[in-house]
Structure 1
Amino acid sequence: MSRIDAYSGASIFDGEQRREGAVLLVQNGQVLGVVPEAGIPPDCTQHILDGGLLAPGFVDLQVNGGGGVLFNEHPDVEAIATICAAHAPFGTTALLPTLITDTPEIRDAALQAGIAAARAEQPGFLGLHLEGPHLSVARKGAHDPALIRPMNDTDLTCIKQARQSLPFLMTTVAPESVTNAQIAALSSAGILVSLGHTEASFDTAAAAAIAGAGAVTHLFNAMSPLGHREPGLVGAALHTESLSVGLIADGIHVHPAAISIALAAKRGPGRIFLITDAMSTIGTDLQSFSLNGRTIRREGGRLVLEDGTLAGADLDMISAVRFMVHTVGVELDEALRMASLYPAACLGADTLHGHLKPGAAADMIHLDEALDIRSVWLRGRPLD
């Protein structure tokens, strides 16, 4: 029988509630359970932590790059491995490498790279996120308008077929560039459809949700705003119970007051969850990089095109959690849920991810009182 590892000496947050004076048991990379200290098996290997909090690893559904690599520029298995490795020290133990609007050839290469990463069981790899190219030019953000286009039958077939070989697949689309029948077909194929980069009205977005869209991409950014006569996608995101909503919590993309208002207004069971929208700068001192032949500069916490347009975020997930706690005033356990349980549930990955209940992957982080990361484990193995 393989050994059992017992982690004690810290408070344990299992994804829903906090346990004091308890022990987390792990075997074969999976959580066995949380037991009282008196329930530690006699032959286990004990790991005594020096206080702090043991919590589930973070789940990030929108990661464009990291470690000096942008997925669009290097749509291959090596890039996926680099991106996953770059985000792990910041507590992200499961992520979706995200392809920004690009050519069909780059998309196909990215899908094949994701399939290969899944077969290789790349640590930290959860699946892929295709953000575009089926968006609205009017709300393009940093996406190249020359590459934005409607979805056709070939696109639909390609994405549906890729899903069969990927653990999870998410795609951001605008109702201007897809039909509700296409949204329904994607959803029926097990793909998480997220609405974003769109001028869609409230009614149009609500109809897309009925058709099968399950999420909204980076709330407030690159979407029709909340108005008192036309609530837009922001209104639909907060009012529609079935929609879960991604949020970039860096104090640059969304004002803290707007975040607080959104949290108070959101109707469930859909939840607001944290994303980083991180680019290649994470884990590096890079000051500039390229996307679709355009230079993006790193300036004072921002990533911008030459015209000042925000282009992704210079953000890691533990920094987003700290921002939610220290600036927005969200209770720590809820901020941790927003970074782990809620995104996992949105994707349908919460059988294994986002919590530390029996049967979950032993993806864990150890936080100190300052919310600095002391240790990270992926499938029970400590990060080097």
Structure 2
Amino acid sequence: MTSRPVAILHAAIYTPTRRIEDGAVVFAGGRILALGPTREIRPPRPAERIDAQGRPVTPGLIDLHIHGLEGCDLFGPELTEVARRLPRYGVTAFVPTTLTMPEEEILKRLRAMAQVMETPPRGARILGIHIEGPHLSPKRPGMANSAWFRPLTPEAVARYQEAAAGCIRLWTFAPEEGEAMQAIPALIAQGIIPVIGHSDATYDQAMEAIRRGARQITHFFNAMRPFHHREPGLFTAALLEREVITQLIADGQHVHPAAIRLLFQIKGSAGVALISDAAPMAGLPPGRYTWLGYEVIVADGRCQTPEGALAGSIALMNEGLRVLIEEAGIDPLDAVRSATLTPARALGLRRMGQLRPGAFADVVLWARWGTPEAVWIHGERIV
């Protein structure tokens, strides 16, 4: 890590609880030292000075839900390469997400991921593992093979967490399946955040899961029971419960801009966490690919199965941030918060996702929205 302080001057800074016009941020030793209007900041004499010329500066993006990129599948040892490549997209921390497979194969791959996390690679921070499948609803399978689905049990929680060496941080499941509701205390006891997803839960079932401790919804709008005025479902429970955070894919394919605006109006940026749900084909040219035994087609900005089901996204967090601002019309301050501070708080992380004195120096200077110009992780310039 470089010991020389860095001072970014004359930037549009999104902290993201406020915007500072013609702002400056100074960091060294991996932490933010000072922040404020450029005219009020006096950088240390040896500092590297960067004139942002009014371009945006934000905290590093935090992705709670990602499967891979550029041909690398992070569900196994390629997690190392994904961590190295993600900063190119403005991502400084992430939660690698698994895929539905036979249990023995999942446990084998969890062990490989835990090995990588024992000696973290240079690049984006790995914040834990996100389990997505096989504890899903066969009525809302998405691209997953429902033949491998099983209701979640406390015993499964223990097996998976042991294989992952205690690294599992998020767990997406359908609480209405079998006795899955009984597994929520086991998740919480293991330090795992219960996440409802790929679920056909009714309103009452969703509310019961929330009362027991579920606090997030996986890719809201997608792979879930839709709203109906006589059975409002998970959709309405998530919107009405203030403490529930909705993960949102904003790739221009999964959710219409009007639905994005509706979600932000109801939940606010503190209740929406931007995710990529990026498949390993993100960053690759159009074509047919195989993803852990699943055939997928990349064309027209979509990644889908031959039957037409969306199979993750081919857009990373930087593109999602651009879509929020430029296509959905979300205020940049709210958009940035949904990609930084909200996911950090969803994980209980107090020194990440924001620019303030004492916080980790995870910083992105943007050439324009969607295009990172420079990225620092813990004060070290990566891109």
TM above 0.5, one fold?
yes
**Using a 3 Å threshold, how does the CA distance of structure 1 residues 218 and 370 change in structure 2: closer, same or farther?**
closer
Q: Do the aligned partners of 1:86 and 1:283 also contact (CA within 8 Å) in 2? A: no
Q: Do the aligned partners of 1:87 and 1:283 also contact (CA within 8 Å) in 2? A: no
Task: Tell me what 1:61 maps to.
Answer: 64
CA distance in 1, matches of 2:369, 2:205: 44
The reply to whether residue 91 of structure 1 matches residue 93 of structure 2 is no
CA distance in 2, matches of 1:345, 1:164: 23
User: 1:173-192 maps to which residues of 2 (within 5 A)?
Assistant: 173-177=173-177, 178-192=179-193
CA distance in 1, matches of 2:37, 2:322: 29
Task: Tell me what 2:346 maps to.
Answer: 346
2:51 maps to a residue whose letter is L
Q: Secondary structure at the match of 2:139?
A: helix
- Per-residue deviation, 1:117: 2.9
User: 1:295-334 maps to which residues of 2 (within 5 A)?
Assistant: 295-334=295-334
- Per-residue deviation, 1:4: 2.6
Task: Tell me what 1:218 maps to.
Answer: 219
- Per-residue deviation, 1:208: 0.2
User: 1:44-55 maps to which residues of 2 (within 5 A)?
Assistant: 44-51=46-53, 52-55=55-58
Q: How big is the alpha-carbon RMSD for the aligned residues of Structure 1 and Structure 2? A: 2.2
User: 1:96-111 maps to which residues of 2 (within 5 A)?
Assistant: 96-111=95-110
Q: Secondary structure at the match of 2:97?
A: strand
CA distance in 2, matches of 1:187, 1:214: 11
CA distance in 2, matches of 1:360, 1:106: 38
Instruction: Give TM-score scaled by structure 1 length.
Output: 0.91
CA distance in 2, matches of 1:187, 1:163: 16
Deviations 1:7-47 (A, max 9, x none): 22322222211223443121222222314545424433132
- Per-residue deviation, 1:104: 2.0
Q: Do the aligned partners of 2:199 and 2:225 also contact (CA within 8 Å) in 1? A: yes
User: 1:258-337 maps to which residues of 2 (within 5 A)?
Assistant: 258-266=259-267, 271-285=271-285, 287-337=287-337
Question: How many corresponding residue pairs?
Answer: 377
Task: Tell me what 1:40 maps to.
Answer: 42
**Using a 3 Å threshold, how does the CA distance of structure 1 residues 59 and 47 change in structure 2: closer, same or farther?**
same
1:355 maps to a residue whose letter is Q
Task: Tell me what 2:74 maps to.
Answer: 71
Q: Secondary structure at the match of 1:139?
A: coil
CA distance in 2, matches of 1:293, 1:162: 22
Q: Do the aligned partners of 1:66 and 1:82 also contact (CA within 8 Å) in 2? A: no
Q: Do the aligned partners of 1:3 and 1:44 also contact (CA within 8 Å) in 2? A: yes
Task: Tell me what 1:145 maps to.
Answer: 146
Deviations 1:31-71 (A, max 9, x none): 22314545424433132223201111101111011121123
CA distance in 2, matches of 1:258, 1:14: 26
The reply to whether residue 119 of structure 1 matches residue 118 of structure 2 is yes
Instruction: Give TM-score scaled by structure 2 length.
Output: 0.92
**Using a 3 Å threshold, how does the CA distance of structure 1 residues 306 and 131 change in structure 2: closer, same or farther?**
same
Task: Tell me what 1:377 maps to.
Answer: 376
Q: Do the aligned partners of 1:68 and 1:286 also contact (CA within 8 Å) in 2? A: no
Deviations 1:351-375 (A, max 9, x none): 2321112222211111134553211
- Per-residue deviation, 1:161: 4.1
CA distance in 2, matches of 1:207, 1:269: 25
Q: Secondary structure at the match of 1:142?
A: coil
CA distance in 2, matches of 1:145, 1:369: 41
1:364 maps to a residue whose letter is V
Q: Secondary structure at the match of 2:356?
A: coil
- Per-residue deviation, 1:231: 0.7
Q: Secondary structure at the match of 1:377?
A: strand
Q: Do the aligned partners of 1:209 and 1:242 also contact (CA within 8 Å) in 2? A: no
Return 5+ residue gaps in structure 1 as ranges. Answer: none
CA distance in 2, matches of 1:370, 1:222: 29
2:117 maps to a residue whose letter is A
Deviations 1:247-292 (A, max 9, x none): 11122111111222222223x7960111110011223336232234
Task: Tell me what 1:8 maps to.
Answer: 9
Q: Secondary structure at the match of 1:186?
A: helix
CA distance in 2, matches of 1:180, 1:117: 32
Q: Do the aligned partners of 1:163 and 1:189 also contact (CA within 8 Å) in 2? A: no
Quick check: 3-12 or 357-366, which moved more? 3-12
Q: Tell me the percent identity.
A: 33
**Using a 3 Å threshold, how does the CA distance of structure 1 residues 50 and 7 change in structure 2: closer, same or farther?**
closer
Q: Do the aligned partners of 2:152 and 2:173 also contact (CA within 8 Å) in 1? A: no
CA distance in 1, matches of 2:252, 2:142: 18
CA distance in 2, matches of 1:202, 1:222: 15
CA distance in 1, matches of 2:378, 2:163: 26
The reply to whether residue 367 of structure 1 matches residue 380 of structure 2 is no
